[in-house]
Amino acid sequence: MAAQTIPHLALRFVAFLLISRGNSEAVTMEYENKLVLAPMVRVGTLPFRLLAADYGADITYAEEIIDHKMIKCERVVNEYIGSTDFVEKGTDNVVFRTCNQEKNRLVFQMGTSDAVRALKAAQIVCKDVAAVDINMGCPKSFSVSGGMGAALLTKPDLIHDILTTLRRNMDTPVTCKIRLLKSSQDTVELARRIEKTGVSALAVHGRKVADRPRDPAKWNEIADIVSALSIPVIANGDVFEYDDFERIKVATGASAVMVARGALWNASIFSPKGKIHWEDVKREYVRKSILWDNDVKSTKHTLKEMITHYSCLELPEGKALIKSENLADLAKVYGEEEYFRLVSDNRFSLNGH
């Protein structure tokens, strides 16, 4: 069990529930000097976003959700855990979960290849998030084969259609995230065209579609984009320590800095006080997953990614993690049985059971 006492955890749990059920005023998204959690599929769910925010992330991107999936959803206020859920109609499948306490910093990222469908999906969620972002950088086959993600980079007319459609029909800020094109000049030209659609900001991953994670990010090419635009640019690529936030900011001139793998391996990268031990970060993530009833497959995937960076799954922890079938099992693996019981008991009492 972590050092926190059970009474303290109980008070914290009640506070979380009260905050999440309160009303929060909409705030205009600001990008100057902001630290940003990048969108990561199967990782950027509610517990991980709140974890990153606790450590200092100013803006948190959700994992990419495909527009086809979102338009099948209905908005449901989940009184049981104090969240807002977007549930696939006719099922219990929660496609996207958020809460009021992250509303003013949350960016909903969407995969799309069609302006009308993108707008329909965005309108379902736009009142519960701070901004809507279009993924134009994912190189994975599931995204590209559907004409989404990096496939959009070669379709500037479609990019223009999607972004202008969203901008004209929503009050919510619209942004997008791209990768570098074959030449710096090509990327700058695309970025300028994107800027003309009226987006609030542009995130740039400093790698080309064919680049692998081990290839160094081209900060100089991000700098070319920054100097060509007047809107905020969010620089992404090769940020693994807190000091890297300032290094890439100075090198590129970007307004904000986004981190993916560095945050996945240790979300306390956002803390100006320095990283805390990854074992403590991992346990806090498990507690947040319990608190927000996160999908166990998502939680296990994220924990596996954390473990394999520092260790391996063949050790007892990894084997126990793989065998875990639910959050109660995970609580046992990480010595959080008492926290699991506390959350369950308080949840029932707060909901009149």
Give the active site residues. 138
Structural tokens at position 196:
């003309």
Query: What's the CA gap between 332 and 339, in Å, rounded?
Result: 10
Q: What is the CB neighbour count within 10 angstroms for residue 171? A: 8
β-bridge partners, 175: 133, 201
Q: Residue 277 gets which letter from DSSP?
A: P
Burial of 312-343, coded b for 16+ CB within 10 Å and e otherwise, reads eeeeebbeebeebeebeebbebbebeebbebb
Given its phi and psi angles, is residue 326 left (phi above 0), alpha (psi -120 to 50 degrees) or beta?
beta
Name 137's Cβ contacts closer than 8 Å, sequence gap at least 6: 149, 150, 153, 177, 178, 179, 205
Q: Are 246 and 13 in contact (CB under 8 A)?
A: no
d(CA 143, CA 270): 29
| DSSP string for 202-270 | EEEEEEETT--TTSPP-HHHHHHHHHH-SS-EEEES---SHHHHHHHHHHH--SEEEESHHHHH-GGGG
